[in-house]
Amino acid sequence: MPGGTNMAMATHDSGARWKTFLSEAKEQEITLLLSKQTASPVIEVSFHDLTGFDPEFAEDILSSPRLIISSGHKVLSEICRDRGVDLDAMIRLSDLPRDTMRPLRDIGSRDIDKLRSLDVIVTKMSQLKPRIHLAVFQCETCGNTQQVDQTNESELVEPIRCPPDTGCGASIRGTDSTRFNLVMNVSRMINNQWLEIQELPENVPSGAQPSRAQVLLEGDLVNKHLPGQRITANVIPVVRSEIKRNKKTPMFDIIYHMVSSTHESVPFTEIKISDEEREQIEGVAAMENLMQVMQNSIAPSIFANDKLKLIKRSLALQLFGGVRRKTSDDSYLRGDIHILLMGDPGVAKSQLLGYMSNISPRGKFASGGGTTGAGLTAAAIRDTFGDGRFALEAGVLPLSDRGLAAIDEFDKISNEDRSSMHPAMEQQRIFVAKGGITATLPARCAVLAAANPEGGRFSNRNERSSIMTSFKETGLPYPLASRFDLLWLIRDETEVTTDTKIARHILDIRTSSVSENRSQEIDYEPDQSDGDEIFSVGVDGKKHLTIEFLRKYVAFAKRNYFPTLNDKAKLAIEQYYVNIRNETSKQDRSAGNYESEGDKDRVIPITARAIEALIRLTEAHARMHLKEIADEDDAKVALAVYKHWREDSKIEDESELHSGVSASKRSANQTNQTIRKVIREICMERGGSAGIDQIYNRAIDLGITEPQVDEVISSMSISGEIFSPRGGTYSFVR
């Protein structure tokens, strides 16, 4: 009882305390409010200011926030009215103390009607709706009006009786009953909106469903949030009785009234890094063989042959990524690196993706076989807020904002759903136009995808065939290939030495690992924690970074370092770009391939897209080394990674990424058309038939050899397009 009495006293004199605080500490803000120069009639009050002004009052607010904050709204509105301005002014309390922070899944009976802070992610939002917060009712009998505060958003509270001192005293029941009509033009309304929030993905226990909750926003807080955004929500949990079959039950639902919210301004704040860990990170960054250590740290349990070493190196750069930039015309340049892994079954693609999504801050994993386009981008579904309208629910890409989205079985996604990946990967925004909702959601994440061949295993390629031959076997559309910076093919090839090393590595990993039950026992022992370890040694004896330290390293680098290229780095990329384009042009000219019909057969090995990819790789390497300036050394590593990929991919022409047709194949098609044209012209000149010598002579003048002519004539004869009426002459079939 004494505690309840003190609380009642604190609530009772809260109006006087608010008036004192606002008049003395917020006079300047009130003057600005009265001048109507602010966007909304709101005054921001920091909890630190309240604590410094009146510590007891600040403690009372934490214990009884609904009544005291509501009293603050009334006092502020009264101050405005006393000074000649009629405003429904509000107070927004921010900067709550750390002891109010709670995980969403732990909110229970002890937190009801208390002030709490939640680190959450917004998953869904409703349409804006007006709600009466001060209702004015008029008695039908005498015309007297009375005001009723509406504190419950789920029901309209009506008066039971007309006041005897100002009205007729009639009630809604009895012989002299009356009715009360709502006077809308005098009542005061406020905008309301519902949000659905979800606990942060990295805080969800393994195997558990993420906790969700509904939050009610009002006033200036509406339309300030989007699905996929991370916020710190300062809320008051309240309960509403469950209703089943039109009856209330003893079970209660918790909903949250938002007091204020803070959007995340600095990414990866959920990963705490101490001063000691910062020094350790800077010490590791100074290592000479840092790139090798990072490469070894990517899925160390997977044996890396020469090809996989290159892939792991590119994945290490993808973890850090380039710098997203805004141009003068308000467009954005992508900084994230997209990588596609194509491979036979059993080459550890899924394991690589799972490790990358786990190691990357804000990494999310999805499997294309069980994910729709709506699950990847955003879904418009009938909301659960009671009005039956459509609401947006964020998918994997918005939830991975500023992180990494690992999408396994990319080839299993339907064609309709793949189309939604194009703007999401290049512009890093998701455009939603569903169910009457038009919105744009941020998806600033790197995409790491894995695809399998449709036939179960990639067919054997000859040494000259490009990676696009294998890309065709995945069934993915060709334009999607151009969205990836790097495409890797992992073949399951038989080779005695490599097979022996892989077998020994797997056996060593298996026998040195701890059983799951034993692992749980170890985890529960407080003195067995190895969370502070920096390095670990794999079964192959190579040193690599631990998972926890690598996550902190990546978060620290991406949070604090945004490197720019210096002149030497720019020059190195520029020279590579110019040289490789002009070397190919010289080869074409020396081979006699002058600018022929429409330049269709001219080979362009790389385009401006390659420059963008090289810039991102250079910035990623500089960020890995915690550098603000990307220099020539960073550019050299980026060029080495890119050259190794081009050498492995055997892509002759950049247009092959868009069309799937190689330069040599396109040139062969052009040659076939030219020979057909020659035969047709000779037939028209010679009365319907063309001699082989005449065809040879005219083809040689066009730079086409006799074997090429023989090959085309043979193909046309087999298809029945031409026939030979006599030896050495050919005619078209009519």
Query: Which structural domains are found in the chain, ordered by start?
Result: 1-95 (3.30.1640.10), 111-265 (2.40.50.140), 298-317+332-516 (3.40.50.300), 564-661 (no CATH), 664-732 (1.10.10.10)
Q: How confident is the model at residue 635 (pLDDT cuts 50, 70, 90)?
A: very high
Question: Which percentage of the chain shows pLDDT scores above 90?
Answer: 13
Least confidently predicted of 115-119, 415-419, 480-484, 549-553: 415-419
Would you state the pLDDT for residue 530? Answer: 46
- Per-residue confidence (pLDDT) for residue 566, from 0 to 100: 93
Beta bridge partners of 116: 235
Which pLDDT value is given to residue 512?
Answer: 66
pLDDT-derived band of residue 594, with 50, 70 and 90 as boundaries?
very low
In the chain, what is the straight-line distance between the N-terminal and C-terminal CA atoms, in Å?
108
User: What's the pLDDT at 619?
Assistant: 94
Residue 559 pLDDT more than 60? yes
Q: What is the DSSP letter of 222?
A: T
Of 30-44, 376-390, 487-501, 702-716, where does mean pLDDT reach its minimum?
A: 376-390
Residue 491 has pLDDT above 50, yes or no: yes
Buried b (16+ CB within 10 A) or exposed e, 536-548: bebbbeeebbbbb
Q: Which of 181, 175, 196, 90 is nearest to 133 (CA)?
A: 90
pLDDT at 509: 64
Q: What's the predicted TM-score (pTM) here?
A: 0.68
Do 176 and 161 meet the contact criterion of CB atoms below 8 Å apart?
no
Report whether pLDDT(1) > 60.
no
Residue 415 vs residue 725, higher pLDDT: 725
What's the pLDDT band for 722 if we cut at 50, 70, 90?
A: confident
pLDDT bucket at 662, cuts 50 / 70 / 90: low
Best mean pLDDT range from 297-301, 341-345, 458-462, 628-632: 628-632
Q: Between residues 498 and 707, which one has the greater pLDDT? A: 707
pLDDT, one tens digit per residue, over 292-312 is 999 989 888 887 777 888 999
Phi, psi for 563 (deg, rounded to 5)? -65, 150
In the three-class reduction of DSSP (H, G, I as helix; E, B as strand; rest coil), residue 544 is classed as strand
What residues form DSSP beta bridges with 238? 255
Burial class, 647, CB count within 10 angstroms (exposed 0-12 / middle 13-18 / buried 19+): exposed
Whether 141 shows a pLDDT value over 90: the answer reads no
Query: Does residue 455 carry a pLDDT above 80?
Result: no
What average pLDDT does the chain have? Answer: 80
CA distance 381 to 11: 42
